[in-house]
């Protein structure tokens, strides 16, 4: 497993990639960059990512699924 506090600047400056990390929480849009990757990044059948954010002491999970695209892929 692998924890990342944020995404690379190249990933976040890519409009489509950044959009995949934007999620609404109670009507307000937040960027979810913190994530854990379980498995091998380039193997969709055995890898998942979990993107999350703590907002006002509440843990929100915005995405669980295949590895999202990043600037290096």
DSSP 69: P
The total number of residues written for the chain in this structure: 73
Residues 6+ apart with CB under 8 A from 20: 63, 68, 69
Query: What is the C-alpha separation between 73 and 58, in angstroms, rounded?
Result: 32
Count CB atoms within 10 A of the CB of residue 33.
Answer: 17
- pLDDT tens profile 10-65: 999 999 999 999 999 999 999 999 999 998 767 778 899 999 999 999 999 999 99
What's the whole-model pTM score? 0.87
């Amino acid at each position: 497993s692998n924890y990342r506090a944020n995404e690379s600047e190249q990933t976040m400056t890519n409009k489509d990639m950044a959009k995949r990390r934007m999620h609404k929480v109670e009507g307000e849009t937040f960027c979810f960059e913190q994530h854990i990757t379980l498995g091998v990044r380039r193997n969709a059948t055995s890898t998942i990512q979990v993107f999350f954010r703590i907002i006002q002491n509440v843990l929100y999970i915005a995405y669980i699924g295949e590895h999202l695209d990043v600037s290096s892929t």
